[in-house]
Amino acid sequence: MPASLNIKKLDVQKTLANSWEYCLKNYRTMSLFTLGHLAFFVAFEVMHRWKSPLFIPWLVLYYIFNVSFYRFYFNKKPYFALKASAHSLIPSTKIIFITILLLFILLFLPFIPLFLSNNIELLDKYTSLLDAGIDKSKSIDLATNLIMIFISPIILFQPFMAWIASIMERSPLLKTAFQKTRGNYWPFVLLSLIMNLPYMLYSQIEFYFHIHTYIALLLNSPLIVYFSVILGECYKFFYLENDEA
């Protein structure tokens, strides 16, 4: 059988609908997870973010909290499992490495012309253009968000499938995740766009109306839960429907 016939195409509309239906059916538990996220976010702000000596303990607890969410979502008992959390560190570390590497490349790209010319006058003009662009930080943020959307299948969705697989004590290999999700670049891009729209919209509103940080955290918490369910639905579609490793 040709390999193309084995490609499973993700239905974005169905994925969003199933995720929403799950949240409604389990609204009590999802509300508790929403409050959990809110509590972690507020604690993060109160302790002055990563500058605090409590940041590492906070990060560990928040990581275990997210692992517990997916173990609950897939009814994988025990929900609180330190072994599964430790096992999932391998793909999560890869996700962080890939993301940082791509971000570094994106940040470095505008400066490449500076190394390709010896024309001082031209370089001065280009540097001025860079300074002007950096000053318009909101435009830079918007452009960065759009770029991240188009590379999200590589740095988010496919690595995240491997991470959830490790939580479920299945193959945590990125190669497996790429094989199972091949042919779904555009569905992932569309999902990423939908998931990023609220944050892009909020960024613009915050810029013009100066919304308080804690209001942002309140709005962000249920979105995080819903988007986590969406990723769970993606994993279910690619990994569990045929009950493969």
pLDDT the model gives residue 38: 94
Residues 7-64 pLDDT 10s:
899 999 999 999 999 999 999 999 999 999 999 999 998 888 878 889 999 999 999 9
Assigned token pair, 118: 């010896």
Closest CA to 236 of 19, 82, 5, 6: 19
- Average pLDDT along the chain: 81
Provide the whole-model pTM.
0.80
Closest CA to 192 of 161, 222, 165, 155: 155
Beta carbons of 153 and 184 less than 8 angstroms apart: yes
> Residues 82-93: what's their mean pLDDT?
75
Residue 194 has pLDDT above 90, yes or no: yes
pLDDT the model gives residue 4: 46
Closest CA to 179 of 121, 245, 241, 126: 245
> Residues 137-165: what's their mean pLDDT?
80
Percent of the chain with pLDDT over 90: 39
pLDDT: which is higher, 152 or 93:
152
